[in-house]
Chains A and B, each alone.
Chain A
Amino acid sequence: MKYMLLIYADPVGFAALKPAEAQAAMAAYEAFTTALESEKVLIHSQRLRPTSEATTIHVENGKNKVLNGPYVETKEQLGGYFVIEAPDLDAALKWAARCPGSHHGTIEVRPVWEM
């Protein structure tokens, strides 16, 4: 089974970190990624740039409706994701709990539609 771990967190919190703290936070993500890699469960992972740089588009009657900002304006925003391979939901949840994102934010665990 493939699962996507979507990390929702308050970007303001991260931006307010002192350089040393930010570095420690990044190191925690690196350690988590290394653990995923060494257990051969990591399929893909990205960190997303802030929602201030997000744009949405919806096509209606052939017309592009382009708007500045994220799809939903909330305090916690999608900040990145990991796609992992896990035998079942409990295993996926265990990985999600180890992800730093579940501590400074919340992680949504979604099974990937197998095509």
Chain B
Amino acid sequence: MRERDALVGKAAEAVARRSYGKLIAFLAARSRDVAGAEDALSEAFASALAHWPKDGVPDNPEAWLLAAARRKSVDAHRRRKRSEDASDHLKLMAHELATANDNTVPDKRLLLMFACAHPAVDEATRAPLILQTVLGFDAATIASAFLVAPASMGQRLVRAKAKIRGAAIPFRLPEPDELRERLDAVLDAIYAAYTEGWSDPAATDMHRRELAGEAIWLGRLVCASLPGEPEALGLLALMLHCEARRDARRDRIGEFVPLAEQNTDLWNSAMIDEAEMHLRRAGEMRAIGRFQLEAAVQSAHAVRRTSNRADWRAILTLYDALWDLTRSPVVAINRAVAVAETEGAQEGLAVLDMQARDKRLSQYQPYWAARAELLSRIGRIAEATEAYVQAIGLETDPAVRRFLQRKQAALGSDRGVC
């Protein structure tokens, strides 16, 4: 019996993983009551764990859960609301039942993502909200991935859901004239989820590792739902390019390996090839954007698989375009590095100097690391040492910190470390 329970538990878990977002999206699409849908679905899961061991796992677990969640939701409304309101809700439910074929739950996850990434939702909460509602991550997991106190993350999520319901943010594809802009917010949220996962390459923290994988999954979902959107393909290509290098980013003892020194044999070729394919398809659509440019940069790094050296000329051109598009200080730093690789360290440093007035950069590790590197290449050792001190002080990843410390220690003695 215990074995059977475990099997049933596994089946329920598998359905939960596969269908969670789909069920939430469908349950909340009309009422816009995401929190209510979550409650109803979690009761439905509890009920599955109680019934399935006795009655067996149903043929269509998804439909079973949906029916159970609907009943719970109606019950909750009966308890909570005055009769006229409840009857409205019952009408809605009846309509949903009529439109939904019980064997297939219509997939409204993309619409749920558009609601979560609506400009009326607090920007910092959009990615966490998508992770919670579409992927079923709990608030504590999301909080730890985004380095926010669980209580305040929980509060933000509750507030965002109240906003969706209270202000009636629709579960709908935006109008064509708004689609690109709104899609950007969805893509930004997915990328935010990916970069949170990316920041733990050793995958010592399973939450983060999963975050990266789930973000790629969301990227695939968007591409499948909106196949004509080049930026969605660009984002997917970008994430796949980065993910392909996961195993090469740490050596055998867990030390950080910078991109230029990574063993390309450890890169995942299949992932890179897939990324290239998506990027080509995006390019054919002739509407360039931030994610396609960033993916193209990664593509120009990936040529090192065959040519031993990244295509720095192309990288510089791409960062020029990204700079024109975003004016982002982060892009400016990467551009300075590309200038250094193509024209010389002195020229790269001049580009960095132009950015030095931007106050945000004084707290940004890569600015100081790039500065230290370029200063050391032209022999300004004292200044390089000082820049490394800044970079080391700002770095939170211990492996990267040790890497920077090694580079700092090597200053003046061995110039071959760059």
Contact = CB atoms under 8 A, between A and B. Distances in A.
Contacts of B170: 87-90
Contacts of A93: 120
A105 interface: no
Interface in B149-172: 166-170, 172
A111 interface: yes
Nearest to B172: A90
A102 to B, nearest CB: 14
Interface in A73-96: 87-90, 93
Nearest to A113: B166
Contacts of A109: 167
A87 B167 CA distance: 10
A1 B175 CA distance: 20
A90 B175 CA distance: 10
Contact-size category for A: under 10
A93 B170 CA distance: 12
B172 A111 contact: no
A88 B169 contact: yes
A97 B111 CA distance: 23
Q: Which of A87, A90, A93, A111 has the most B CB atoms < 10 Å from its CB? A: A90
A90 B178 CA distance: 11
Interface in B277-313: none
A87 B169 CA distance: 10
Contacts of B174: 90
A12 to B, nearest CB: 29
B315 to A, nearest CB: 40
Contacts of B118: 89
A32 B48 CA distance: 54
B339 to A, nearest CB: 41
Contacts of A89: 118, 120, 167-170
Interface of B: 118, 120, 166-170, 172, 174-175
Given A89-B168, A90-B175, A111-B166, 14 more contacts: A1-B168, A87-B168, A87-B170, A88-B170, A88-B172, A89-B118, A89-B120, A89-B169, A90-B170, A90-B172, A90-B174, A93-B120, A111-B167, A111-B168
For the complex of A and B, the 4 pairs showing the least CB-CB separation, nearest first, are A88-B170, A88-B168, A1-B168, A89-B167
